[in-house]
Chains A and B, each alone.
Chain A
Amino acid sequence: MSHSRFGPGNLPAIALATGAGLLLCAVANTLARSTDGYPMVLYWLGVLLIAAPIFYRLTASAATPAERLALVCLLGLALFGVKVLRDAPLFTFSDELVHAFNANQIGDHHHLFEANSILKATPYYPGLEGATSSLMAITGLSSYSAGMIVVGFARLTMIGALYLLFLRVGGSARVAGLAAAIYTCNFNFLFWGAQYSYESLALPLLVIIMMALAEREAVRREALRAWAVPVVVAITAVLVTHHLTSYATVGILLALSLAYWYVKRSWQPPNPWRFAIFAGVLAAAWLLIVASSTIGYLSPVLSGAVKAIFHTLSGEAPPRQLFQKGNPAVGATPFAARAVAVLAIAVLLAGLPFGLREVWRRHRKQPFALVFGLAALAFFATLALRLAPAAWETGNRAGEFLFVGLAFVLAYAVLAAMRRWSSRPRLTRALLTAAISLALIGDAISGWPWDAQLARPLKVSASGKTIVSPPLAMAEWAAHDIAKGRFAAPTADANLLLVPGNKAVLAGPYPDVEDILEDPQLGGWQLPLLRRHKLRYVVSDRRPASSDGLRGYYFSTGGSTEGRLPRGVTAKFETVPGAARVYSNGPITVFDLKGRP
């Protein structure tokens, strides 16, 4: 056995910069949480300090493959850290509370598939919550801590698997490092993709599948079967974890099969068509036998997206406004930030033709490279969906998958630029680092509302004690003092009634609880609907943010009651015979419709 010793390269210095960047982000979030301003410059400086040194080092030819792998893993974990620093120690994204409730239900009942009143499809894709339950059960950790650990491991796995995938397809550690780093520039990497939600586990598993297929393609015929094992195991795990990712898996496997046939004119292994069929059959069976409620959940979203595209194209509906205003306390996205976001897209677009040319020149005989090239083109097509109101989310979600291909293509654009301006390598590397950093920040601005990038006050220290925001106080009261009974509540209150409230609660338009809670008049249809769904408690919340699953959890600031919903939205329930006004904390009032014994 040979024994080699190797140095860590620039990793320690870069790790220090990463740590300092995380500290800056923590300070910015703490200042925002303590309502001492909204220090976005400090925050973006922190993100830059994390990412830019890594980008710069990855453009160097001197870094070893091991150092590159370590650097991309550091980048992936540190950017996940940015999300953790914003929220800890509580979940504050709408989907997170839904999944945390499912995880708590597994802990309470010791079985899967317990009902979730807000998102009915989620218990039927229990992969993430099941994984979380292992750590919760063995260690006694909360769903927050266990969930963040599982997602953290999934992020580490994803970025590492991306590196190995790109290494196998591109045949170059430099390309692999750059492409994996560029992938972090996708719209959802910083926040949406890092949340405690089923896609945060399913997407890394999909990347594992792709990596294993790429490895399988490179081995001798007798080793094909061995690589089929991780592919089959990961396909099955994706299937029980997330509906959309399982369909994306089928789509990607089909695209790879066709690309393989196009290049090699063969359906023989390693053509992955058998895996495509396996994934397709399993996904269909799971959907029809186990998770049939998913059809009712996804069909309005997808059909709404298609309708919105047609309405926007035909001029029947105005296009969606980009950078919509959110929290009035923070204000609209400033012009400079919008400019960075638009420039980021321009940078990605500018690199596309050069990258595609390089990929075609070097790898046109590789099925993976062809699929990556097509995905890169499709990514820009999905940007148009952002202009159609109901199609925005579909485009945003698709971007996370398609960016895998775009990252590979853009890595070649970076290499082409370095070759083109090889006489001034340091300047070229610095400029390319600036361009990738711009893409990271610009796309993070595009992918997440400006006013939600930093933390808001949820739990606050007062005279040495901890006080909590109005919706959290209401949810904690319900958890402690209401033994049973279903709730109707606006979205933000409903999410907190799931966790920490641990209550069955309905919100939103299906059934139309939303209109009941926002209408100042008690319409004749409202009480029958509440009774039909056995909703004993009604949460009336006059804060406009109460229907916002991202912004509705926090303290209001500055004593302003401006913009509150009319008094009637609360007062109307006092006229209901037998209803008791059981809780009031100012903006939030809870009625017990069966209050009279």
Chain B
Amino acid sequence: MRGHRDLRIAAALALVCALLAPLLPVEALSLLFALPLACFLPGYALAAATFARRPIERPQLLLLSLGLSLCVLALGALLLNYLPGGIGPVSWAVLLVLVVLNGCRVAALRRPNARAGAGAATKSSLRLSGTAAGLLIGALLCTTAALALTFTTTSAKHADGFTALWLLPPTPRDAPQGGARIGVNSEEQKPVSYRLQVRVGDRPGENVRRFSLDPGETRVLKLGPSASASGEAVAVRALLFRGEKPANAYRRVSGWLAEPSP
């Protein structure tokens, strides 16, 4: 690729991006390297190889770089699907690098003589005044503010908060002991106090718990196993009351206790 500066840069950039993007632990940084690797360089290399003998104008080249990159991504997954290892970070990085390197190599071989770039017969640069730069920075700030506002979770005073009650068999880790899990999950607008009444089979009395939860908080209670006299599954029923309405059951769930596994 000697003499073809654009191709050398594209190939080197693809290698650097493919090495760094999967390794960087911060998503935003990783994206900085993944974007050129996935969304520009494959298309650029293909366009450079295709139009090596008859260069096209720069807008067409840029557009094809984007469009063909999208095509490579759409078709690349299909190719990787049938290769050992399937679709993963390494296979994607290797595929994209191979597309870029091969595209650049073909372009270098096909170009009639050393040129700076496929569409760069005329080099042009943007002249930006101080006012123009200020306006563009203002635009960037507005857009950033808009995105920040969007990604910020805001309060909504008219949204109806609620509490969820659930009853499930024990987690796989606790399954050998049997029993059940009862969960209370508050999606309320403010802290709420609760009374949870649990009745297990025909056992006399009720298991009563009182607690309060902050918004977004979850409380999980574990129930132990209980053998019934007849050997049948033991029913369990849970009622949840809110502190401000202690007489009315607010939520109700029912099920059975899991038997301890042998």
Given contacts A22-B142, A128-B74, A460-B154, are A230 and B47 in contact (CB under 8 A)?
Answer: yes
* Contacts A141-B27, A461-B155, A597-B258 given; does A23 touch B126 at CB 8 Å: no
**Residues of the A chain whose Cβ atoms lie less than 8 Å from the Cβ of B135:** 12-13, 15-16
- Which of A231-239, A340-348, A442-450 lies on the face that meets chain B? A231-239
**In the complex, residue of chain A having the shortest beta-carbon distance to the beta carbon of B154:** A34
Most buried by B among A140, A556, A559, A596: A140
Asked if residues A135 and B166 are in contact (CB atoms below 8 Å), the reply is no
Rounded to whole angstroms, the CA-CA distance of A559 and B256 in the bound complex is: 33
Contact indicator B125/A461 (Cβ below 8 Å) = no
For A111, what are the chain B residues with a Cβ–Cβ distance below 8 Å?
81, 86-87
Confirm or deny: B164 has a beta carbon within 8 angstroms of a beta carbon on chain A.
yes
Q: At the interface with chain A, which of B7-15, B56-64, B194-202, B204-212? A: B56-64
Does B77 make an interface contact (CB < 8 A)? yes
Check A584 for interface membership: any CB of B closer than 8 A.
Answer: yes
- What residues of chain B lie closer than 8 Å to A222, measured between beta carbons? 54
**In the bound complex, do residue B166 and residue A141 qualify as a contact, i.e. CB atoms below 8 Å apart?**
no
In the assembled complex, B108 has its CB within 8 A of some CB on chain A: no
Contacts of B150 in A (CB 8 A): 26, 29-30, 84-85, 88-89
CA distance A157 to B59 in the complex (A): 11
The answer to whether A170 has its CB under 8 Å from any CB of chain B is: no
Q: Mark A192-221, 1 if CB is under 8 A from B, else 0.
A: 000000000100110010011001000100
Is residue B78 within 8 Å, beta carbon to beta carbon, of the partner chain?
Answer: yes
* Nearest CB in chain A: distance from B187 CB, A: 4
Contacts of A23 on B, CB cut-off 8 Å?
142-143, 145-146, 149
Q: Is B109 an interface residue (CB 8 A)?
A: no
Are the C-beta atoms of A150 and B154 separated by less than 8 Å? no
A563 interface residue (CB < 8 Å to B): no
Which residues of chain B are within 8 angstroms of A36 by Cβ–Cβ distance?
157
Are A465 and B215 in touch, CB under 8 angstroms? yes
| In the assembled complex, A244 has its CB within 8 A of some CB on chain B | no
CB distance from A327 to the nearest CB of B (A): 14
Cβ of A452 within 8 Å of any chain B Cβ, yes or no, is no
| Dominant secondary structure of chain B at its interface with chain A | mixed
* B115 nearest CB neighbor, chain A only: A1
Interface membership of B251, Cβ < 8 A: yes
Residues of chain B from 151 to 169 with CB closer than 8 A to chain A in the complex:
151-169
A365 within 8 A of B: no
Contact B190 A460 (CB under 8 A): no
Task: Please tell me if the beta carbons of B156 and A457 are within 8 angstroms of each other in the complex.
Answer: yes
Chain A residue with Cβ nearest B240: A584
Chain B: residues with Cβ within 8 Å of the partner, total of 114
Instruction: Name which of A382-390, A469-477, A518-526 contacts chain B.
Output: A469-477
Which residues of chain B have C-beta atoms less than 8 A from A208's C-beta? Answer: 63-64, 67, 71
With A and B bound together, what is the CA distance between A66 and B127 in angstroms?
A: 13
Name the A residues within 8 Å of B145 (CB-CB).
23, 26
Q: Is B174 an interface residue (CB 8 A)?
A: no
Q: Within the complex, which residue of B67, B127, B188 is in contact with A467, where a contact is CB–CB below 8 Å?
A: B188
Q: Does A33 have its Cβ within 8 Å of any Cβ on chain B?
A: yes
Q: Inside 8 A of A137's CB, which chain B residues have their CB?
A: 22, 87-89, 91-92
Question: Do the beta carbons of B233 and A33 come within 8 Å of each other?
Answer: no
| Nearest chain B CB to A285 CB, angstrom units | 14
Q: In the complex, which residues of chain B have a beta carbon less than 8 angstroms from the beta carbon of A140?
A: 27, 30
Give the residues from 65 to 104 in chain A that come closer than 8 angstroms, CB to CB, to chain B: 66, 69, 81, 84-85, 88-89
Shortest distance from the beta carbon of B69 to any chain A beta carbon, whole Å:
8
> A161: CB under 8 A from chain B?
yes
| 9-residue interface stretch from A2-10, A318-326, A370-378, A489-497 | A2-10
Given A112-B87, A473-B185, check contact A581 B59 (CB 8 Å): no
Produce 1/0 per residue, B229-262, CB < 8 A to A: 0000100000000000000000111111111000
Flag if B172 contacts A483 (CB, 8 Å): yes
How many Å lie between the Cα of A243 and that of B143 in the bound state?
A: 35
Q: Does A127 contact B (CB under 8 A)?
A: yes
Tell which of B86, B136, B160 has the most Cβ of chain A within 10 Å.
Answer: B160
Report B-chain residues with C-beta under 8 Å of the C-beta of A4: 122-125
Let me know if A126 is at the binding interface, CB within 8 A: yes
B41 to chain A, nearest CB (A): 12
- Quick one: which of B47, B91, B159, B233 contacts A460, CB cutoff 8 A? B159
Among residues 30 to 64 in chain B, which have CB atoms less than 8 Å away from a CB atom of chain A? Answer: 30-31, 34-35, 37-39, 46-47, 50-51, 53-54, 56, 59-60, 62-64
Say whether A226 contacts B252, CB under 8 Å.
no
A555 contacts B159, C-beta separation under 8 Å: yes
Given known A-B contacts A230-B68, A582-B255, A583-B253, A460 and B153 have beta carbons under 8 A apart: yes
Residues of A within 8 A of B161 (CB): 462, 467
Interface size band for A: 35 or more
The residues of B that contact A459 with a CB separation of less than 8 Å are: 153
Least Cβ–Cβ distance between B60 and chain A, in angstroms: 6
Minimal Cβ-Cβ distance residue in A for B215: A462
Which B residues are CB-close (under 8 A) to A223?
Answer: 54
B256 to chain A, nearest CB (A): 5
Please give me the residue from chain A that is nearest to B162 by CB atom: A586
Does any Cβ of A come within 8 Å of B183's Cβ? yes
CB–CB B189/A130 < 8 A: no
B162 contacts A131, CB within 8 Å? no
List of B residues within 8 angstroms of A133 by Cβ: 77, 87, 92
CB closest chain-B residue, reference A223: B54
Q: Is B73 an interface residue (CB 8 A)?
A: yes
Could you say which of A89, A134, A457 has the most chain B C-beta atoms within 10 Å of its C-beta? A134
CB-CB under 8 A from A586, the residues of chain B are: 162, 251
Q: Smallest distance from the beta carbon of B221 to chain A beta carbons, Å?
A: 14
The answer to the question of B141 belonging to the interface, with a C-beta cut-off of 8 Å to chain A, is yes
Q: Which residue of A lies closest to B149 (CB)?
A: A26
Q: Provided the pairs A4-B122, A466-B216, A557-B159 are in contact, do residues A153 and B39 lie with their beta carbons within 8 angstroms?
A: yes
Chain A nearest Cβ from B170, distance in angstroms: 11
Q: Are B63 and A211 in contact (CB under 8 A)?
A: yes
- The answer to whether A19 and B142 touch across the interface, beta carbons within 8 angstroms, is yes
B interface with A by C-beta (< 8 Å)? 21-22, 27, 30-31, 34-35, 37-39, 46-47, 50-51, 53-54, 56, 59-60, 62-64, 66-71, 73-78, 81, 85-89, 91-93, 96, 116, 120-129, 131-136, 138-143, 145-147, 149-169, 172, 183, 185-191, 214-217, 233, 251-259
Q: A12-B139, A229-B50, A481-B183 are in contact. List 7 more A-B contacts (CB 8 A).
A: A139-B27, A153-B39, A153-B66, A459-B153, A558-B160, A581-B255, A597-B169
Residues of A within 8 A of B (CB): 1-8, 11-13, 15-16, 18-20, 22-23, 25-27, 29-30, 33-36, 66, 69, 81, 84-85, 88-89, 106, 109-113, 126-131, 133-135, 137-141, 145, 149-150, 153-154, 156-157, 160-161, 164, 201, 204-205, 208, 211-212, 215, 219, 222-223, 226, 229-230, 233-234, 236-237, 240-241, 457, 459-463, 465-470, 473-474, 477, 481-483, 555-559, 580-586, 590, 592, 595-597
17 contacts between A and B (CB under 8 A): A2-B122, A3-B122, A12-B134, A12-B135, A34-B156, A110-B86, A149-B35, A205-B67, A226-B53, A229-B46, A233-B46, A236-B75, A461-B154, A467-B161, A477-B185, A556-B159, A581-B167
- By Cβ-Cβ distance, the 3 closest A-B pairs, closest first, are A130-B77, A19-B142, A580-B255
